[in-house]
Structure 1
Amino acid sequence: MDLLQLRYFQTVARYEHISRAAEELRVAQPSLSRAIARLEADLGAALFDRQGRRIRLNQYGVIFLRHVDRALSELDDGRRAVREARDTGLGRVSVASETLLTITPLLGSFRTAHPRADVRLFQSNVQEMDRQLRAREVDFCVASQPLSGANFEAVELDREEVLLAVPRGHRLDGRESVTIREIADEPFVTTRVGHWQRALLDRLFASEGLTPLVSCEGDEPAASQDMISAGLGIGLIPAVSRKVGSHSRVPVAWVRVAAPDCLRVLTLVWNRDTHLSEAALKFREFTTGRPFVTHHLPEPDRE
């Protein structure tokens, strides 16, 4: 077996789909199938169960994948270590976040403090962040939902209140607070399943035995405030959104939600088995060694 076969196997095992794996690897499907067949012949065991055009990783494949992931990760860490020793900079730090609005000020401050660091930023939902950490594709995730893994470590960065944003002139405009039952029939603008805003909305309604009415859902949390302002519904928005960037000028009214856990908790999560460059170590120290700067809202009011 060779390194290329192992990378082919890893990708096919992730997708359990030859054509999708071939597309990502940019190789012809027949060539990929032959490479997997040669690997299985070398091992003396089939790694996938095949049913027509569908394939599924079998028990031997699961065992082998665990070792392949570890071996390829070690090789990738070795390459990074060599690059860092060769380069004059601090190396690279890769960060994934559910929304870019939250992480941008932090990364900007870090780059100012460490201009030689190479910073890479990814926008990912919670499922993708979990995969990226396990595959060691990123060094850190700034997550608003729990990420669990045997090798994951996390530090809480901040917790802030989440408010209800409503269009100006809405019946709730001017209210100090509302209960979940008072907004049970209101259409909500929110994110798709997998994002923290949707998870919070579903959890708050489930605690009252209710299901939210979703009128609009998307993948970009920062767009919710614009859609609420346009009258497409109401939505849960973190307090920081009132004060950061252009959204501070989007005309909506703000109301508190009478629920004790209507909060967003931000954590910095990393895989302790991942090699961290000097830049990544400095980012962790920079992020966890100082208060996480967000713009909190003291009292809801009209803007």
Structure 2
Amino acid sequence: MELRQIKYFIEVAKREHVTDAAHALHVAQSAVSRQIFNLEAELGVDLFIREGRTVKLTPIGRIFLEHMEQAIHVIDDATQVIEEYTDPERGTIHIGFPTSMATYILPTAISAFRERYPHVKFQLHQGSYNELKEAVVKGIVNMALLGPVPMNEKKLHGTILFTEKIVALLPANHPKAIASTVYLNDLREDGFVLFPEGFVLRDIIINGCQQIGFQPKISFEGEDIDAIKGLVSAGLGISLVPEITLVDCLPRATVKKQIIEPSISRTVGVIIPKERQLLPTERLFYTFLKEFFTRLEEFQY
């Protein structure tokens, strides 16, 4: 089995089309077909169901793809380790993040890190909570920022960097807009603007409401934090959002209010794989993150 065959196989599996894969690989279509045929012959199984030049993975092909993707990530990591060995301050960091950390947490950390290590490069991977956990397990990235931090995962190690409050974001004409704080129960008749199902922030908010005996009425859903803030700004509902997402900019025609009874919060931190070591440059950043947010919390208090 050759590395070239594996790369051709992954590209064809991803595109489900031999000609498209050949174009992406900048090789002849016949070369891709020949290498896939040789790979199947060596393995003694059919990896694809063929319909002309359109293909779909067989069940065993899907299993093989999962293992080969992990193998390629291991090979890429090994190559990068060699490149970074002599100078980890010039390597590349692959890190995942959710939308709620895109505007303040990640940019602040990267900016501070690059003041110390200006030649380090970053490759960023945005995704949902579960997508990012899977990406770290599979080796697509070796670390990801998440909130809340998963602490009991079999293949992941979680480190809490800080805990942040979830606050109410209200339209400026809301009856509670002039109050210094709001009880969560005061919002039970409002329409909520939340993330769609499958987003962990949605679950945190719904669980908080259920704690005091009501199911929030969802008026609108937004795919990212900016969409949610925009919908609240337009007066289409209220929302509960991580306080740090409002640090740089409070949307026009909105107010931020601390929530009491119950107070809602989430842990924020970083996950890394238990079964793989971080690359040298990634170890630098991982250590930096823990030190940076410890100092930040001490400064705030």
Given the two structures, how large is their TM-score scaled by the length of structure 2?
A: 0.78
Where do residues 274-289 of structure 1 align in structure 2 (5 Å cutoff)? 274-289=276-291
Q: CA RMSD in A?
A: 3.8
Partner of 1:18: 16
Separation of aligned partners in 2, 1:261 and 1:139: 33
Contact 2:194/2:239 (<8 A) preserved: yes
CA contact (8 A) 2:208 2:262 kept: no
Partner residue, 1:111: 114
Aligned pairs (5 A) from 1:119-130: 119-130=122-133
1:68 and 2:68 aligned:
yes
Percent identity of paired positions between Structure 1 and Structure 2? 21
Residue aligning to 1:143: 146
Give the partner amino acid of 1:7: K
Aligned-partner SS, 1:293: helix
Which among 175, 186, 196 is matched to residue 192 of structure 1? 196
Give the CA deviation at 1:87.
Answer: 5.7
Aligned partners of 1:198, 1:261: CA distance in 2, in Å? 16
- d(CA) in 2 for partners of 1:265, 1:255: 20
The equivalent residue for 1:179 is: 184
2:160 is aligned to: 156
Distance 1:232 1:295 in 2: 38
Measured in 2, the distance between the counterparts of 1:123 and 1:225 equals 19
Q: Does the Cα contact within 8 Å between 1:160 and 1:265 map onto a contact in 2?
A: yes
SS for the counterpart of 2:215 is coil
Contact 1:159–1:265, Cα closer than 8 Å, also in 2: yes
Identify if the C-alpha distance between structure 1 residues 297 and 211 changes in structure 2 by more than 3 Å, giving closer, same or farther. farther
- Aligned residue for 2:235, secondary structure, equals coil
The answer as to 2:251 corresponding to 1:253 is no
Tell me if the contact between 2:146 and 2:271 (Cα under 8 Å) persists in the aligned partners: yes
User: Partners in 2 of 1:117 and 1:124 — Cα distance?
Assistant: 23
Q: In 2 relative to 1, CA 122–168 (structure 1 residues): closer, same or farther, beyond 3 Å?
A: same
SS at match of 1:170: coil
Q: TM-score, normalised by structure 1?
A: 0.77
Partner residue in 1 for 2:7: 7
Change (3 A) 1:105 1:35: same
Shift of the 77–170 alpha-carbon distance from structure 1 to 2, 3 Å rule, reads same
After superposition, the C-alpha distances for 1:119-170 in whole angstroms (9 at most, x for unaligned) are 3333322233123213323231010145575331110111111011101121
Of the candidates 196, 216, 231, which is equivalent to residue 227 of structure 1?
231
Match of 2:215 among 210, 229, 232: 210
Kindly tell me the number of residue pairs found equivalent between the two proteins: 291
- Distance in 2, matches of 1:165 and 1:4, equals 53
Larger mean Cα displacement after TM superposition, 51-60 or 207-216: 51-60
Tell me how far 1:36 sits from its aligned partner.
3.7
Residues 209 and 5 of structure 1, relative CA distance in 2, 3 Å threshold: farther
Shift of residue 210 of structure 1?
2.4
Q: Is the 8 A contact 1:153 1:272 kept in 2?
A: yes
Q: Once the 2 structures are TM-superposed, how far is the Cα of residue 3 of structure 1 from its aligned partner?
A: 1.4
SS at match of 1:254: strand
Equivalent residue for 1:293?
A: 296
Corresponding residue of 2:59:
58
